[in-house]
Structure formats: structure tokens, C-alpha cells
Amino acid sequence: MSLDVIDLRSFYASPAGDLARRLIARIVRERFSNCAGYSILGAGYATPYLGVFRDEAVRVLAFMPAQQGVIHWPAASSCASALVETTAMPLPDSSIDRVILIHGLETTEHPRELLTEIWRVLTPGGRVIIVAPSRSGLWARLDRTPFGHGQPFSRSQLRDLMRDTLFSPTHWTEALYAPPFRHKTLLRAGVIFEKIGAFFGLPGAGVLIVEATKQLYRPVPATQRAQEALPQFAPAADPVGAPVSTRG
């Protein structure tokens, strides 16, 4: 199910959206701590997480799915956002160093094609951070937040999907342990929930966050390697002097 860009913008303008942005952005910034000289792409609806990179990256782009809609970003500068088909991005091969994918994987009808396209535009050794709703989290069960729309994932499902599209996970974490409260007083306790949940590794986080690198070569399955290692036997020649069979 697609999300509307107006609903996404409204969510991030709300107290619950601001809490989600702060908690997720902290992890994104820790993983992409120094992006000086890099090209960065935000795919899905990543604009709440891109502003911190604008002063150090060579370029920062925001690509939003055609079915979602697009907004002008950044608001007070030349537009760096575009409405695209995310499985056919208007970028050359190996042109982006870092990708942040959020509010994209769970709503697309073609998740493998989306990750394959991200693989294509990433430079060799390029990295992607994927933020996806957790199947076991409360945020995925309430449709009043964007994380309650589309297809949530378990860690094993996300790992299999990345393996199929030639990504190698390098770091796993979770966020949004705090329930999506509506009351501001309860939301203020969100940071405490987050610290306790992260420290003890509690179940029920709202989103899975995985950082992965682009693999350049498809690994050879172990069964195929074993078959290739077996000795190859050619058909035996007929023994010398053996009678020649005749028919008729």
C-alpha cells in the first residue's frame, strides 16, 4: 500500500513523528558519520533525515516514488527532490556513495527490483541504510503512523532479501521501542523507553535498521563448489581387441 506524501509530511510535523525522526536520525548519523565529498541519495521519503548531510556532501538527492507524490526539498533552496520510478532511477551506474531507504521498501510492489536498482547506482563499496517496519513491533500494527502501512519485515526476511540482491549486512540495530503515544507527556518518555529497550535488547521495537555494503560478485553456493570439485570422468574407450557388436 502506498503512502501519500502529504500524510508523511503531516506525520513528521506531529509530536510522534518528531520523536521517530530524532530516534532514527541519531542511528543514521552514527553510521554515516562523515560523508564529506560523497553523493547521498534518500529513497522513499527520506527528507527528514537528509538535512544534516547537506553541508558536507557533494550532493544530496531525494527520490520519491511516483505513487507517493513529491514535495519541494529543501524548502528554502533549489529543489533536490524528484518524482521517479524507484525501480528505474534516472542515475548512471555507480554514481552514488550512500543511500538512505525509508518509507520505501515496505510499500513497493517490487522490493527485489528496488534493491537491485539501488545496487546499480551505488559505487563499488557503497553503503545503504534500510529502515523497515518490524513485524514484531507495535508501530507496524497501528496505521496512524507511516510504519503501519505496507509489508513489515522480520530480520530473517530482510536478510534473505539483501542476500538475493547482492548486499552484505554489516550492522543491525532497532529503534522505536517507545509506543506511538499521542499524548505529549507520554511522548517525552520516549527517549527513556529507547535507552532501556536498546540496552537490554528488548523485543518489540518499531523498526529494523540495517546497514549493508554492495557486493561486487555473486557468491558461489557451497553445493556448486562441491560439485565443481568432484573429479570429472570421460567415457571409457572400448578395450583393444574387444568384439564389435553387430545387429541385424
- Residue 159's pLDDT is 96
State the SS3 of 21-33: HHHHHHHHHHHCC
CATH number of the domain where residue 29 is located? 3.40.50.150
248 within domain boundaries = no
Domain span at residue 12 reads 5-213
User: What is the number of structural domains in the chain?
Assistant: 1
pLDDT at residue 175 tops 90: yes
State the SS3 of 203-235: CCCCEEEEEEEECCCCCCCHHHHHHHHCCCCCC
15 within domain boundaries = yes
Confidence of residue 248 (pLDDT cuts 50, 70, 90): very low
For the stretch 49-65, pLDDT in tens is 999 999 999 999 999 99
Mean pLDDT throughout 119-127?
97
CB 94 within 8 Å of CB 76: no
247 within domain boundaries = no
191 within domain boundaries = yes
pLDDT at residue 114 tops 90: yes
228 within domain boundaries = no
- Residue 191's pLDDT is 73
Mean pLDDT throughout 233-237?
52
Confidence of residue 218 (pLDDT cuts 50, 70, 90): low
Confidence of residue 231 (pLDDT cuts 50, 70, 90): low
Kindly give, in sequence order, each residue whose CB lies less than 8 Å from that of residue 229, ignoring residues fewer than 6 positions away: none
236 within domain boundaries = no
Residue 157, H or E segment: helix 155-164
235 within domain boundaries = no
237 within domain boundaries = no
Ranking 17-31, 84-98, 106-120, 213-227 by mean pLDDT, the lowest is 213-227
Confidence of residue 226 (pLDDT cuts 50, 70, 90): very low
C-alpha cell read off for 88: 528505474
Give the predicted TM-score (pTM) of the model. Answer: 0.84
